[in-house]
Structure 1
Amino acid sequence: MSQTATIDITLDPGAQTAVVTVEATAEQLQVSTAELGTVIATKQVNDLPLNGRNFTQLLSLTPGVAPISVGQNSMGGRSGGFAAPIAEGASFSFPSINGATNRSNYFLTDGMNNFAAFLSTYAVPPIVDAIQEFKVVSHTDSSEFGSVLGGVINVVTKSGTNRFRGSAWEYLRNDAFDSQDQFAKVVHYHQHQFGGTLGGPVALPRLKQNTFFYFAYQGFRYSKPIATPILVPTAAMYSGDFGSICNTGFTAGICNDRDKNNNVINQLYNPYTTVPAGSGFSRTPYLNNQIPVGTNPGDIQPQVVTFLQSVLPAAGTFDPVFNSNAFDTDSNTQHQNEYNIRLDHTFGQTDSVWFRYSLINSTVLKPSAGNVPGLTTNQDIPGRNWGGNWVHTFSPSLQLQALFSRTTVSDNSLTKFKTALTSVIQAAGFAPGFASNFSGAKGWLLPNYELRNGYVSGGESVVLTPQATDNNQVSVTLNKLKNTHTFTMGASYITSVFSSPLSFDTVSFANGQTGDGNGIGGFSVASALIGVPDSANRRDVDERTRLGGLFSAFFQDSWKASSKLTVNYGIRYDLTLIPPYGTKETIDKSGGIETGDFDFSNGTYVLQYPPPPCTVRGHAPCIPSIMLDANGNAVACDPATQPCLPAGTLPPHVVVDSRGRISHNTYTNLGPHLGFAYRLTDRTVMRGGAGIVYDNWAAVSQMSQNIEGDWPGIGQLIANNLNVPGGPTAPNGTPTATYGDPFSAGGVNAGLPAPTPFFSGGVNWHYDPHIKNAYAYQFNFGLQHQINTTTTITGSYVSALTHRANIGGMYNTALKPSTLPNPQSRSLFPYMISTFYDRSVGFADYHAFQLSVDKRFSSGLAYQVAYTFSKALDENDGFFGAEGKNVADPYNPRASLSPAGYDLPHLLTVNANYELPFGQGKRYSTGNHAVDYIVGNWQLNGILAVRSGQRYSVTYNDGDLANTGNVGWAGYEQANLVGDPNSGACQNPDPTLPPIPVHTQGCWVNTSAFAAPAKGTFGNLRPDAFQAQRYWNVDLSVFRGFPIWAEGRKLEFRAEAFNLFNTVIFGPPNSDISNLKNFGTVTSRANANAARVLQFGLRFIF
């Protein structure tokens, strides 16, 4: 638990016989260390209201913990995502701790690694009733703990004792108990959470006094029947009648509908009649939008009709409110089973061991993303965390501890139809090279048949991640007491690997393929039924990393300098071993080891394992034949113009790393720690500490596999703009790409095409090969005062200055904004593309005053108060240009230094357990056993949370306004502030109504206070300059205990309310000023603010 106890005992002269009485009240003052943290004890863990019984909700009871996540580990999908599953409907938190990113935390269970490395979450959640206590350790002056910039969350599980003890429980909730969310439809569901624990001695001869066990089980069952409205093609469309898409009728067979430029719209044309016409093309219309059914090109293809009718329901009555004519009635279910078993054994006076095995099996069955009836996603997520610990005492002053653990999480998702459709797929005419022959999936996969225009779409896929987390840990620690010194030293090694084969295919249809040939008219469903696609992709990759991990070693001395002063000093070494991407088993495979990465420090492209020439292999990954143009750049080989370079010649600026890997490890991560604790009085302690800490886990696993499929590979086969007149697949206007084999028109029947001569497309998430671990200078200073025997108050100043923080987003963009054309010519290296690129060049700053009051349980009451007043600044919130804000100018990230996405200036949490003082043995007793039984045994438990509103940016996201070559969706372009956003009103969409005042749902900010920057400039705002509505919430539980039989046995009824007052807290508004319709409006609730949920439970304790 990272706790050091100092117990001062004074012995007075007296008789030779003395009696020492040890009372239950633990040491209140922390007089031996300067670390920050709060112990969450058993009673709080078991009794505080937890929505879904997920322990991470209790992290916010510690000062400095901001429960806002802008990272990909926010677990929005709840059912996995490379980490242990979250129970549906449960509250959870992967917070920012003391100004660090959401990924910069580390989870331990019983001191063992329990960490899902890909997204920096826990791997296997501990069962709440099996938790003895836990603590968030941060800014520690002990070098034994480190590895992350945020907090180390160490959960200690319960052990058995000489008495059999345990519990059983059942919690129930359903929609009948809940309040309705104004932002969501009514959802009907049923949920059960149940389980039990049992601990005690192992009842075997000669083992009873030294062998103990503790077992826990928890089950979770969730069922949500769904009737999702969907839109499917009608019987008339299957027969070729599309007259209904024309709104104003026909004249001479041509639709009368017109756009604002008087162009004919909602008219269908036969793409196989395309002929050049001036600068464009001309096509013959389908008169009255009637398409014949037949086998001729341009007819409704019977095999397509049969195929769609086999996988889609028949259309019913059209509902204009939901734009639907059918329903997907597949239900959403989640089944989870969790187990925890722990064994403790002592061998005499010198040796003790324990072993624990924790597992979770979760199965989620839910409708497919496209809501095609009968097409469901089955997600299987098993997690394991197990290991053991041995302690050997050589002497009273020398002790050795050795620990081993293993942690695994898989996340395997199969989206398949309930009935096999192999014969349907084959009869529809899909080619084997498109819809089968996947390395990660057996048989055929129905392509995702995208109809667009609001029509339902969906297809089969196999997304396997058998090694989402795969860690082994070995650690050894030696403790030596010598005079007033306690020396601790040790080392640990944790391995990490990742693998994930992915298999899916898609064919898409658009309006243009049945339009007039010039981009006007047409209808995507008609394009689909005549079998003329617009785009397609096929992904069949085997993502794997080689062995990586973390090696750490430390030395620590806790020196009791005097009866009042303890000095802690030490040093820690961390070596992050970045897992190299790809294994030799993936040679000649898409997304395998034969890939590369940019090195923008010198303008090169680095290959880690070069493939053979394309003349030898014939498909990617391979080195294409090239020649050099007049500027010395590589271009495609054309022997008719000049001789080609020898086969396999690398293009200019492409180099090979002889180590066979891209990343370079950092070998200089040495972190000193220094702290002191000085007892000013018997009741007051002054503490302070400083240290250098490195971020060894954040995003490392995910970063290493981001380069899959880079040049000279092709991560997935993509064909866009198929059958566009004048394009490669319709040079004369006539379509040549078919829905069944959309790539064959480009000369590809199997495998992947050869890559272009040099990396000229395919933006990916690259990283600096010399990227280094972020590190922080951490400081804290504080006073702790003991008010009475059970209550302390602590105030601390906390600071962290982070260097080498991650900066993601686009790089190799134009050096300056400009109105000049061709931003690539103005980039750092014009011969290279701009792409996402993560670098360790950022800075972050955190300062806080933290106040806590801690009353241990006594006289029926326990409570904790945690308040934080802070400011967290950074330049970039997370990683990969996908987590929170992004820098506007990648060459000057300091210009984006601003409040972090998880900056919450004010944070207050209060939690309490209160046994009402009525009944037998309480302060207020009637003296009547019957009356006392009725009025007694009541308990209230609650959590109050109040905090500042969530940060958000006001941006302009409609294209690259600064003209730097950045992609618009990255949200880099901040708006211009031209007025006061917090006063005035917004124009009402209904001009007959008065304006809408600010800080309301329809107008959270005055939209007229913002303007789009001039083209070729950056906006004058900095990111995350604004805050949403202030958050507050109360969770409350009421217990009624019924003592039964012998002492210590009790049946407990629990009623719990989450968001007791059903408070609606608005989330950030739509903040894209280019979205004229919705800018400034609020369309969702704040993070963690759900409508009131009521839960009822029974718990038997013995």
Structure 2
Amino acid sequence: MKHFHHVVLSTLVLMTLGAFAHAQVRIVGNISGTVKDPGGALVPGARVALKDEGTGIVKAAVSDDQGAFLFPDLSHGQFEVTVSATGFQTAVVSHIIVETSRTTDVTVTLKVGAQEQSVTVEASAEVLETTSNLVSSVVTATAISELPLIGRSTLGLARLVPGEVQNIQSGVGQGDTRFNNVPGGAVNVTLDGINNASNGFKSGGTVFYTTVPARLGAIEEVSVETSGLGADSGAESGVNIKFVTKRGTSQYHGSAYYQPRSELFNANTWLRNAQGLGFRNRSRIHEFGGNFGGKLIPVGKLKDKLFFFINYEYLYQPQQPTQTKTVLLPDAQKGIYTYRLANGQTANVNLLTIAAQNGFTTSLDPAVAQTLGRQNQALANGYATPINGNYNQQTLNWAENNNLYQYYPTTRLDYYLKPGLQITGTWNLYHSWQPGVRAFPLADTPKQNPFRIGGYFTYSAGVNWTVSPHAFNEFRYGVQHSGDSNTVASNGGLYNTYNNQPLRFANNNIAAAVPIALPALTADQQNTTGRHYITTIYDTATVTRGEHNITFGGNYRRTDWKDVAEVFPYPIYTLGVPANDPVSAIFNTTSLPGVNTADLAAAANLYALLTGRLSGVRKNGIVDPNTKQYGGDLNYTWTRSNMGGIFIQDRWRVRPNLTVNYGFRLEFQGDMYNVNGIVAIPDQAAINGPSNTLFTPGSLSNNTDPLLKIGQHAFGSDLQNPGGNIGFAWNPRPADGVLHKILGDGKTVIRGSYALIYYDEGSQMFAATVGNNPGGKTQTSTFTPGQGGVPFNLTLQNVLANGLPAYTNISPASFQTTLHATDLTFVNTYQAMKPTLRAPYTINWNFGIQRELAKNTVLQVNYVGNTSHHGWRQSNLNEINIFENGFLNEFIHAQNNLKVNAANGVAGDFSNRGFAGDVPLPIMETAFGARGAVAALAPAQGFANPAYVTFLQNGAAGGMANSLGTNSAVVCRMFGSNFTPCGRIGNFNAPGPYPINFWMFNPYSNGTLQFTEDSAWNNYNGLQTSLRRRAANGLSLQVNYTFSKGLSNTRVDNANQNVDWTTRRNLSLDRGPSPFDIRHVLQVFGTYDLPLGKGRPLAINSRLLDALVGGWAISPILTVQSGASFALTGGFQTVNTANGPVGGGVYLAPGVTLSDVQNALVNSQAANTNRNSIDTSWIAPDGRASTSKFITPSTPGVFGNAIYVYGKNYFGLDAAINKEVKFRERMRLALQVGATNVLNHPEWGIGNLNIQSTTFGQVPSPVNGSRTMQFRGVLSF
């Protein structure tokens, strides 16, 4: 009892230590045994000795009243159990394998006889897990080295588990992997028990990711736990991916390897073949290194106590990757705009001629002309390829040297102070460097994007202490650090100059956010340096009392995410057509006959680009965190979060063949906050603005001056999150009858579990949202042509020759601790987080049967389910309103007027002109009319605005409402002096008749109000089967099959889970198939030793012949899966402008069924250098979807249907051929030839499913790569 109190006290002290830690993920395993006599009776009081076969360290235990014994907190490896009891022979069970987080069950049957006699047997019981309800899979060191693994990161092997799905057809990268459809934030990746995931972005982009890659030569095993987690391992995670470093033993072992790759052995890509580019690009990779381990000190007192392991891997990749830029075709540079007609033919017009006919300039801007000339020079240093469906641009391609250098050292040290006290330390580093590439192939342009990963590392220290025969303790501390830098800043404005004046263009494109763009010759490259620390500490005590094995302890985590970015003090120009610019009216269906209205914006913006027409100028300032004044040149971002929990877990051996596992966990989640306290944070009042509730125009609060407070915290901590779990494992032993034949004698385990587990999201959910709000760290100065007295015809040449006009909006004018939202309106939008954000959680359950079919072979069938609640997501709170304010009816009236006026010879005008049938439009008449001292808008900016006419023609009531509601010239005519920000942009000195929340919930964040909330939901139900054969007689094999269904209300896979609701009026509309709803997944992998060779069935005695034809093995990985779900899109914004999952919806044409659509997707056909993912009969001549198959929703105020289809089946085969040559007993050479996509079979994605796109159904290239080969030679000793 004294020792018990000692352990409890130690644990409580450790749980209260300073600010460190992350999710508690234990990396130790257990051996649980039962001692029986020849008749099957339990043997209590038997003496049990456990020897680590690697180090020779011995521990002791005694079997309890039920003949059971337990050795917890064991390092991975092989162990030997020796059992002795009076009246029985000594039994020795050797080569018992202990794996991470698994309990290896061993039954030892004693024979009657003298103790001096001993019987040695090989362990075989580990194929069945008789006391655990954990659903997990382990890839061992042998499998890691033999399976086809291109490169040396072992992360990909974590996919080889039931329940894993990869949305290959989405092509979104590493974030496209999920397990059991749980949110990405619930996936926890660790290396030696220390968090190794990216804690900046979790649910998006970096779900399946390691900060420090777990390297082939350093890793002992990869384990994945997907369900049935206990309170000791389910901390801030619902799925655990664990990597464990190899350890040194009492014998010296080492290896050296060389692993090359070359394009000479790879297949050419499908796209290069299709483009007739011939042989593949040069691509060579050289990887080499080795490892060594054993006794650190071979003599003296420490020779059997101190063991080490080191691994070093180096990669050098001389490469010339193809760079691409989209550039204007020669005709487009002359102002000739080419577009596609509905019949599939093309037409062109000279935009400059149209401008001349309407009295607008036709002069090309000299700064733009200079840039175009330089890009034309660059064409000589590369080659151009056409872009399907794009008649005004082409792709410039060129090869650019950008060699890659990487190295990965790993060390591990184990110190056994005594058999019951082990101290372990590990360290892993990742360093990478690339010199960068040029934005264009011109001799005088600098290399950009040099990138250095200079300090990605993890280190850990752990202590495993056997306090007494019945009390144990595991303590672990560690730090993950990621730090990267572009190392060199390249101010695009200093390289892009005209008459020595710096030119910086918005988003590095002259016409950003429009179909026509002119990329800058040198992009802005701020020097950004990251320093990210995630510190982990946890402690777990284990106490055995009779039939109970109790673990309890706690963990605590601190995440510090620091980034420092350079800021350039030059204005940023955007060329394009601002709202209400009269020039947009001259590009219409008359001047461009047969044009699709969607192409008119591209025509207008090409004209604006060539003539240098400005749509806006912006200059950013940054605050100095020390002086709290704007004018700094470094942008500091420092986000911190703290969290942890305490738990207790019991494994109750109710009967020798029935174990109940249950536990309780209390989770504490602190908020993410800005350490420097320089973030503009809206509270609930500032989020609501003038409104009380959504969609209630005219119902106003008294808040006419919302305030953002400069500070640290956007939401509160959530410190009361109770979770728990209960599960069982039953090993039935029917004596006879049918059940005996079905279940066998101890050959079956029936298990199940239920658990509630909390998880956390990444720090960028704060830093990249509220943390980037204007007015705290940043100051924005802007002016927009057409507003504040700035003329519409302002050009780039004007401002370069005569200087910039005065900025009409500077927000804020100076650094303030309290920011008025009115100062941001019409300049910037702001973002918010729900002040009462809750910790998200998953509820998971499983029920399964595990049956040993034969020696070394087991079949497991599980039903696995889960549901996730309070997931974090970001969406727009300012959904545009067309219903309660009466705009929908007026929009329909405006459609009527448009038709009436056209019938009376006045086309393109929807005003009330007094013709028979015309009706008044009071909202629009106010919106376009005079207000106070401000005159009415010109017809081309109001009732004859071609953009508004297009909205009316398409039924886009939501689109038109959003255009009006975010246009300050319109808004201020409606609200007048009632809306304070209007006084800043004009002399609106009279009140307007409409309430300021007429269009949106909070007009002070005019446009969007991105809001982080806790309303995401996921659901999963799956049948998972796994046939596993342990390596024996030359064959190891695992076959996984999953049949499942995944649902979600958040169809997105990006960093901050940013996707709008279809409408906030009915959130249930977004419940549908998850992006990871892949119904069928089959995985087959393993190793088969060919029977030829020494020690194999067809033995070869000749050493020379054996070296040639013996020792061969093949190791395939086969993946076959059905397609993921995708939504058809293409609506006309008939209700709102949400970027929701179905984009306004789609209608099927009469007679077309969903089954027809699905069947049409099966047969892809060629389309130039692309492929069509849908039968070409479903595509119109202009490239859009055929109107005989699909109908674009155009009824104002009505959504189309949410139509989901499933992509094509995927087939992937990777394989390796392994050859082993033994030189002597402890020296061998292992050779491998591995290949991905062995059959070089291109797999095509689902393509563009926007029915209005001219590339509908097109897939530009396969989603998988061509066959890639790799060679490896490893000399081991």
- The answer, yes or no, to whether TM exceeds 0.5 is yes
**Contact kept? 2:436, 2:447, Cα under 8 Å:** no
Alignment-derived partner of residue 799 in structure 1: 865
1:819 pairs with one of 875, 885, 888: 888
**Cα contact 2:821–2:1005 (8 A) shared by 1:** no
Q: How does 1:673-712 map to 2 (within 5 A)?
A: 673-681=725-733, 682-696=746-760, 698-710=761-773, 712=775
CA separation in 1, counterparts of 2:137 and 2:1256? 41
TM-aligned CA deviation for residue 143 of structure 1: 0.5
Could you tell which deviates more after superposition, 767-776 or 806-815?
806-815
Shift of 1:1060: 1.0
Inter-partner Cα distance in structure 2 for 1:764 and 1:750? 12
Structure 2 residue 1274 is the aligned partner of structure 1 residue 1094: no
Counterpart residue number, 1:413: 486
**Which residue matches 1:1061?**
1239
| Contact kept in structure 1, 2:1245 and 2:1259, CA below 8 Å | yes
Whether the aligned pair in 1 keeps the contact of 2:673 and 2:766 (CA below 8 Å) is no
Moved more, 421-430 or 479-488: 421-430
**Residue 339 of structure 1 aligns with which residue?**
409
Matched, 1:775 2:841: yes
Equivalent of residue 1108 in structure 2, options 912, 927, 934: 934
Q: Which deviates further from its counterpart, 730-739 or 128-137?
A: 730-739
In structure 2, the partner of 1:975 is: 1146
Q: 2:721 aligns with which of 669, 676, 686?
A: 669
1:240-251 paired onto structure 2 within 5 Å:
245=334
Write the distance in 1 (CA, Å) between the matches of 2:327 and 2:1258. 32
How far apart in 1 are the matches of 2:348 and 2:112?
A: 108
Distance 2:1267 2:1201 in 1: 37
How do 1:125-524 residues align onto structure 2 when only pairs under 5 Å count? 125-148=213-236, 150-183=238-271, 186-203=280-297, 205-226=300-321, 228=323, 245=334, 265-267=351-353, 282-283=359-360, 300=366, 316=380, 321-322=385-386, 329-367=399-437, 373-381=445-453, 382-413=455-486, 416=489, 428-430=499-501, 448=508, 450=510, 455-463=518-526, 466-467=529-530, 469-502=532-565, 503=567, 507-508=572-573, 510=575, 518-519=583-584
Distance 1:153 1:68 in 2: 19
In the alignment, is residue 1013 of structure 1 matched against residue 1198 of structure 2?
Answer: no
Matches of 1:1050 and 1:261, distance apart in 2 = 70
Q: 1:512 to 1:550 in 2, by over 3 A?
A: closer
Pick closer, same or farther for the CA change 1:140–1:309 going to 2, 3 Å.
same
AA in 2 matched with 1:1053: L
Deviation at 1:905, TM superposition (A): 0.9
Q: Distance in 1 between matches of 2:767 and 2:810?
A: 31
520-529 or 790-799: bigger deviation? 520-529
Q: How far apart, in 2, do the equivalents of 1:243 and 1:950 lie?
A: 39
Rounded Cα–Cα distance in structure 2 between residues aligned with 1:708 and 1:457: 29
Distance 1:656 1:691 in 2: 40
Structure 1 partner of 2:1216 = 1037
The 2-side partners of 1:747 and 1:759 are apart by: 12
1:523 deviates by 10
Displacement of 1:543 in angstroms is 4.8
Distance 1:379 1:122, change over 3 A: same
Give 1:229 deviation, angstroms: 6.5
Q: Distance in 2 between matches of 1:565 and 1:325?
A: 67
| C-alpha distance in 1 between matches for 2:381 and 2:704 | 60
CA contact (8 A) 1:1010 1:1073 kept: yes
Alpha-carbon spacing, 1:358–1:500, altered in 2? closer, same or farther (3 Å): same
Rounded Cα–Cα distance in structure 1 between residues aligned with 2:860 and 2:348: 73
Could you tell me whether the CA contact under 8 Å between 2:321 and 2:402 is conserved in 1? yes
SS in 2 for 1:857: strand
CA change 1:422–1:466 in 2 (3 A) is: closer
Post-superposition offset of 1:338: 0.9
1:918 correspondence with 2:1013: no
Q: Deviations over 1:921-968 (max 9, x none)?
A: 21012544443332211110010101111221111265x332x3x345
- In the alignment, is the contact (CA less than 8 A) between 1:531 and 1:739 conserved in 2? no
What amino acid is the match of 2:135? L
Structure 1 residue matching 2:844: 3-state secondary structure: strand
Q: Measure how far apart 1:897 and its partner are.
A: 1.2
Cα distance change of structure 1 residues 139 and 731 upon mapping to structure 2, 3 Å threshold: closer
Deviation at 1:878, TM superposition (A): 4.6
Q: Which residue of 2 aligns with 1:1074?
A: 1252
Alpha carbons of structure 1 residues 227 and 662: separation in structure 2 relative to 1, 3 Å: closer
Q: 2:839 and 2:802 mapped to 1: Cα distance?
A: 46
Distance in 1 between residues matched to 2:715 and 2:614, nearest whole Å: 41
**Residues 557-636 of structure 1: pairs in structure 2 closer than 5 A:** 557-581=650-674, 583-584=676-677, 592-596=678-682
Provide the secondary structure at the position in 2 that maps to 1:819.
helix
**2-side partners of 1:196 and 1:529: how far apart?**
58
Q: Is the 8 A contact 1:916 1:938 kept in 2?
A: yes
Instruction: Quote how far apart the aligned CAs of 1:974 are.
Output: 2.2
Name which of structure 1's ranges 376-385 and 352-361 shifts more when overlaid on structure 2: 376-385
Q: Calculate percent identity across the aligned residue pairs.
A: 20
- Counterpart for residue 643 of structure 2: 550
Question: Per the alignment, do residues 715 and 919 of structure 1 end up closer, same or farther by CA in structure 2, a change over 3 Å counting?
Answer: same
Q: Assess, with a 3 A threshold, how the Cα gap between structure 1 residues 55 and 923 changes in structure 2: closer, same or farther.
A: same
> Deviations along 1:1047-1077, whole A, 9 cap, x unmatched?
13222222112111112221112111121x2
Q: CA deviation at 1:857?
A: 0.8
TM-superposed CA distance for 1:552, in Å, is 1.6
Deviation of 1:44 (Å): 1.2
Indicate the SS of the match to 1:708: helix
Contact conserved, 1:537 with 1:716, CA < 8 A, in 2? no
1:111 to 165, 169, 193: 193
Alignment partners' CA distance in 2, 1:975 and 1:789: 56
Rounded to whole Å, the distance in 2 between the matches of 1:1000 and 1:1098 is 47
One-letter amino acid matched to 2:301: R
Displacement after TM superposition at 1:476 (Å): 1.4
CA distance in 2, matches of 1:338, 1:507: 41
Contact 2:560–2:639 (Cα < 8 Å) also in 1: yes
Q: CA deviation at 1:15?
A: 1.4
Displacement of 1:673 in angstroms is 0.8
**Please, which moves more after superposition, 564-573 or 743-752?**
743-752
Give 5+ residue unaligned stretches, structure 1.
77-91, 249-258, 271-279, 290-297, 436-444, 585-591, 607-629, 635-649
Distance 2:1058 2:1202 in 1: 13
- Whole-Å Cα distance in 1 between the matches of residues 217 and 382 of structure 2? 51
TM-superposed deviation, 1:144: 0.5
Whole-angstrom distance in 2 between the partners of 1:735 and 1:311: 19
Equivalents in 2 of 1:477, 1:989: separation in Å?
A: 56
Q: Is the 8 A contact 2:1075 2:1125 kept in 1?
A: yes
Deviation at 1:479, TM superposition (A): 1.1
Deviation at 1:26, TM superposition (A): 5.4
Long gaps (5+) in structure 2: 1-99, 203-208, 338-344, 387-392, 588-602, 623-634, 693-697, 734-745, 892-960, 963-996, 1180-1184
Tell me the distance in 2 between the aligned counterparts of 1:930 and 1:602.
Answer: 82
- Confirm or deny: 8 A CA contact 1:692 1:775 kept in the other structure: yes
**1:884-903 alignment runs, 5 A limit:** 887-903=1061-1077
Kept in 2: contact 1:485–1:560 (CA 8 A): yes
SS of the residue corresponding to residue 267 of structure 2 reads: coil
TM-score, scaled to structure 1: 0.79
Partner of 2:791: 730
Who wins on radius of gyration, i.e. which is larger?
A: 2
Alpha carbons 1:920, 1:932 under 8 Å: kept:
yes
In structure 2, do the counterparts of structure 1 residues 1043 and 6 end up closer, same or farther at CA, with 3 Å as the change threshold? closer
Q: Distance in 1 between the 2:414 and 2:1122 partners?
A: 45
* TM-score normalised by structure 2 residue count: 0.69
Higher mean C-alpha deviation, range 895-904 or range 1048-1057: 1048-1057
